[in-house]
Amino acid sequence: MKTKIFIFLILIFSFSYFFESESVYANQNDKPKSQVGIDEKLGQTISDDITLIDESGNSVKLKDIIDNSKPVILSLVYFRCPGICSPLLSGVAEVIGKMDLVAGHDYKIVTVSFDPTENYIMAAEKKKNYFKIIRNKIIPSDAWVFYTADSENIARLTDAVGFRYIKQGEDFIHSGVLTMLSPNGKVVRYLYGTDFNPFDMKMAIIEASEGKVGSTIAKVMTLCFSYDPEGRKYALNITRIAGGGVILFILGFVIFLRVMKKKDLKNKNSDNIQNKEN
């Protein structure tokens, strides 16, 4: 009886510890809005009637860009940025050539200027520059599209993904971040910085695909690796693995006790039979 109570308490502790650690990610949308930075809006879906202007000067609805076929890597920049925007887009161009996932086939990239004074001519020029950086791969033109927009639509898009920035003189103070969107426009992940690890990017794309068929290895990695919001990258989820290990250990221990109990009972019955025969 004491053994059963002990096992029950350990199970309760293991499950509570496991799910408590996972619940940290559930309250990220409760953070207060900051003037500059990212208010992560995980799980929220962007309105599909936002209007953008492509590199040819055509108006395009977001619902036609995010067409339920592929996950989207969204980068918010401004083309005249003297600081972080160029390294960020260069980082995207470089990681495209290093991944085994193919832009245009497995995912698409959408870059939008949040400066309403910039136009589609600047967007087209920037596109040419960054396509030259992509190495080892040739991707279709529509795999990575550069857009501009008016102030109203920019405000709607930046607010939808929690991208906070302020204008300072002719420039802007803002963060360097990629927002990963599911095929239906749901915000599923943020990747921070300007230098992107191919593994981190691949994991984020797989996660954003939401059930898209992938290799067995990719599925296992998605389970065993989770996004660390503090380290801003994917890392082994020690809590999840340890929690699963503890549960497996306890189940194994329970089975062991039951086997031993049956074995002892069998031995006692055998002894009793021998004693009766004697």
The model's pLDDT over 2-58, given as tens digits with 9 standing for 90+, comes to 555 555 545 554 444 444 444 444 444 444 455 778 888 888 999 989 999 999 999
* pLDDT at res. 150: 96
Tokens for 138? 């040739």
Please identify every stretch of the chain with a pLDDT value under 50, giving residue numbers as ranges. 9, 13-32, 211-223, 225, 227, 237, 240-241
**How do the domains of the chain map onto residue ranges?**
2-20+239-277, 31-236
C-alpha separations of 204 from 14, 55, 96, 208, 254 in Å: 28, 27, 13, 6, 38
Greatest pairwise CA separation for the chain in angstroms: 104
* pLDDT at res. 96: 93
Beta bridge partners of 191: 178
* pLDDT at res. 209: 84
The architecture (CATH level 2) of 31-236 comes to 3-Layer(aba) Sandwich (3.40)
How far apart CA 119 and CA 127 sit, in angstroms, is: 13
Q: Which residue has the tokens 């990610």?
A: 25
Quickly count: other Cβ atoms within 10 Å of residue 46's Cβ.
Answer: 23
* pLDDT at res. 261: 66
